[in-house]
């Protein structure tokens, strides 16, 4: 008997319900997906329209930053000291160079690239982004530019770039004041990024490295502009869409007097030394010369390793700014200030007389401190002590006053601290004290130390700028200004005067003491170098020992190595009645101060005082 067929009964209601649920779920999924799609479309077309439009334009519009022209530097009378000159350099984009050595070998047949330059480029490449241009050779001649232009098709990724480069028309004359600009290195980049200034240097390759160029970088640099260029898919320029010109740096005018600077360099004649001239009425520096010097233009286009090594190893140390970094014993140039301290402390007065037999002894001590004049000066007062530079008078004086009062008093005249002149290359020198010696040598201070310091020897060191500054305070009878080099700067078409920083004056217990000391310095000038001058001057010379001589030994320059001979110094100002200029001159290992530094001071004061210059508007 065949099996019975199973009869299936359909539940149409259940199936309809299931279909509806599935259809609803499908509709929800489609709705969600469409919502996501339309949401993304809205985001792309409406919310992010500007962003994606910019990205799209970036594929055809290239923004190229343009470097600003650097501000020019002038002296107080408008003489150009630093300018910008056209130049051509050879550039390469590293990522487009397949074989660097082969490219250099082939390129060397057209433009010589020596081994040092190759090594320097390879070292730079270690820290350089390969898609950014790198300078192969700067300062190309017109012939080199023409030769390479003919052969450029052989060197993909290498091209000639034109621009402006810093140039110093007076070469080594202003180097230690102006400083120089050089290529931006890794350290410079880090400092710019830290100060959030990196964007303003997008198209700039150079930055101030020393001197005025570095200190006033913010004024001189300016702000970059940019070009918007339409390019094709190969990066070739089709047209320029927009030009935003850069803002050039501000021109600055210094307090320097070019003629006086030239005269000082001429008088130094390559000898090791320094000259600083100041206007005591406002602290403006009229001349600042350090000799020997070097041509700052060597660093603008990148000095070779050999060239830099030669400068670095030169025994005459041309890289040092002797005016602000040279540390010398001030010797007798500070005797007027020591005498002023004695008057203030009433250890002496203008009638006090001291017997000078040629030596002086601490009571109860056998050692003798000698005077420079071996048979002595006899009876001397404060005037004769300064005019004749009597050591015995000052030995006795500082023995009475002591190092504590002396260190404090000299600190008011700027010794032992930076003057804060507007260049970074400056040292503080040493104004010794009990605490200083304890910290430096972990030793107690002895009375013998005080005696040596009392005549500007021993531990005391100062820079020529500090000597000029302290003399300016003395000539001003206590008025104090921060020495400065910036006179004005040009904003658009208007000259803006730089602020003058005047400090609280030094107030003496008896103001007449200023007159006593300045009169003694006038008598010093009248007795020696300025007897026939048509203007009145005041001065004090100094002869600083470089090494100590035994108390019973006699110094003989002919038997001493040249680098151990005495330094010659002088400080002076004129005119005596109303000082306009203060000088400090230091000649290394030149010997007697009056005989060697004196003629320089006279010639410089003549140069400044005897010319018809006071009617100039800048003066």
Q: Which stretches of 447-570 are DSSP H helices?
A: 447-453, 464-475, 512-527
17: exposed, middle or buried (Cβ count in 10 Å: 0-12, 13-18, 19+): exposed
Q: Is 29 annotated as a binding residue?
A: no
How many whole angstroms separate alpha carbon 201 and alpha carbon 82?
20
CA 309 – CA 402 distance, rounded (Å): 47
Beta strands in 387-516 (DSSP E): 480-481, 486-491, 494-497, 502-503
Determine the 3-state secondary structure of 300 from DSSP.
helix
221 is in an annotated binding site: no
At which residue do the structure tokens 């030995």 appear? 395
Buried b (16+ CB within 10 A) or exposed e, 190-204: eebeeeeeeebbebb
> Which one of 290, 332, 433, 452 is the catalytic residue?
332
Token digits for 283? 């602290």
332 carries an active-site annotation: yes
167 a known binding residue? no
CA 218/CA 489 separation, integer angstroms? 12
User: Which residues, 6+ apart, have CB-to-CB distance to 222 below 8 Å?
Assistant: 68, 69, 70, 71, 246, 247, 248, 249, 250
Closest to 76 (Cα-Cα) out of 220, 252, 296, 210? 252
Write the DSSP symbol of residue 47: I
> Is 301 annotated as contributing to ligand binding?
no
Contact between 256 and 176 (Cβ < 8 Å): no
Sequential DSSP letters for 204-271: --EEE-SHHHHHTHHHHH-B-EEEEEEE-TT--EEEEEEEE--BPPPEEEES--HHHHHHHHHHHTT-
Q: How many residues does the chain have?
A: 619
SS3 content of the chain, % helix, strand, coil (to 5): 40, 20, 40
Give the list of residues 6+ apart from residue 467 with CB closer than 8 angstroms, or none: 276, 330, 333, 569, 571, 584, 586
Distance CA 617, CA 619 (A): 5
Residue ranges of the binding site: 356, 371, 377, 390
Q: Which residues are catalytic?
A: 332
């Amino acid at each position: 008997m065949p099996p019975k067929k199973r009869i299936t009964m359909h539940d149409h209601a259940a199936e309809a319900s299931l279909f509806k649920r599935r259809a609803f779920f499908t509709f929800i999924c489609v709705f969600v997906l469409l919502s996501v799609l339309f949401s993304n479309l809205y985001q792309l077309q409406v919310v992010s329209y500007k962003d994606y439009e910019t990205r799209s334009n970036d594929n055809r519009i290239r923004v190229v930053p343009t470097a600003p022209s650097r501000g020019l530097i002038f002296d107080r009378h408008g003489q150009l000291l630093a300018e910008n000159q056209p130049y051509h350099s050879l550039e390469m984009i590293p990522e487009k160079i397949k074989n660097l050595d082969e490219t250099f070998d082939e390129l060397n047949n057209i433009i010589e690239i020596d081994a040092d330059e190759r090594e320097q480029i390879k070292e730079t490449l270690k820290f350089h982004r390969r898609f950014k241009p790198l300078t192969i050779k700067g300062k190309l001649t017109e012939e080199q530019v023409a030769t390479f232009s003919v052969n450029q098709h052989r060197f993909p990724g290498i091209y000639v770039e034109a621009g402006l480069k810093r140039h110093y028309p007076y070469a080594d004359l202003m180097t230690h004041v102006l400083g120089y600009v050089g290529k931006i290195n890794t350290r410079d980049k880090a400092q710019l990024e830290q100060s959030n200034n990196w964007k303003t240097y997008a198209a700039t390759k150079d930055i101030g490295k020393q001197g005025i160029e570095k200190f006033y970088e913010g004024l001189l640099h300016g702000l970059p502009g940019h070009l918007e260029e339409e390019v094709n898919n190969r990066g070739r320029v089709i047209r320029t869409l927009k030009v935003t010109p850069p803002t050039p740096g501000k021109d600055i005018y210094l307090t320097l007097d070019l003629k006086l600077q030239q005269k000082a360099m001429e008088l130094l004649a390559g000898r090791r030394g320094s000259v600083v001239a100041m206007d005591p009425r406002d602290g403006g520096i009229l001349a600042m010369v350090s000799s020997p010097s070097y041509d700052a233009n060597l660093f603008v286009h990148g000095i070779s390793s050999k060239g830099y090594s030669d400068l670095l190893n030169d025994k005459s140390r041309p890289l040092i700014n002797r005016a602000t970094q040279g540390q010398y014993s001030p010797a007798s140039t500070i005797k007027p200030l020591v005498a002023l301290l004695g008057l203030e402390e009433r250890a002496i007065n203008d009638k006090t007389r001291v017997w000078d037999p040629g030596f002086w002894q601490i009571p109860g001590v056998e050692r003798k401190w000698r005077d420079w004049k071996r048979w002595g000066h006899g009876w001397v007062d404060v005037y004769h002590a300064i005019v004749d530079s009597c050591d015995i008078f000052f030995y006795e004086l500082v023995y009475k006053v002591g190092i504590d009062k002396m260190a404090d008093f000299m600190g008011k005249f700027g010794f032992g601290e930076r003057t804060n002149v507007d260049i970074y290359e400056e040292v503080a020198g040493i104004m010794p004290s009990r605490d200083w010696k304890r910290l430096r040598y972990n030793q107690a201070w002895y009375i013998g130390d005080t005696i040596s310091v009392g005549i500007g020897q021993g531990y005391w060191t100062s820079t020529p700028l500090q000597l000029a500054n302290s003399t300016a305070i003395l000539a001003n009878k206590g008025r104090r200004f921060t020495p400065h080099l910036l006179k004005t700067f040009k904003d658009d078409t208007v000259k803006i005067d730089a602020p003058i920083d005047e400090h609280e004056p030094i107030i003496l217990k008896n103001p007449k003491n200023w007159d006593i000391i300045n009169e003694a310095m006038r008598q010093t000038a009248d007795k020696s170098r300025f007897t026939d001058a048509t203007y009145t001057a005041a001065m004090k010379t100094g002869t600083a020992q470089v090494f100590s001589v035994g108390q019973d030994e006699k110094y003989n320059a002919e038997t001493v190595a040249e680098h151990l001979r005495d330094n010659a110094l002088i400080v002076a100002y004129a005119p005596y009645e109303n000082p306009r200029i203060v000088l400090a001159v230091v000649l290394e290992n030149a010997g007697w101060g009056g005989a060697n530094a004196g003629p320089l001071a006279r010639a410089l004061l003549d140069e400044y005082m005897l010319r018809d210059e006071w009617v100039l508007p800048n003066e």
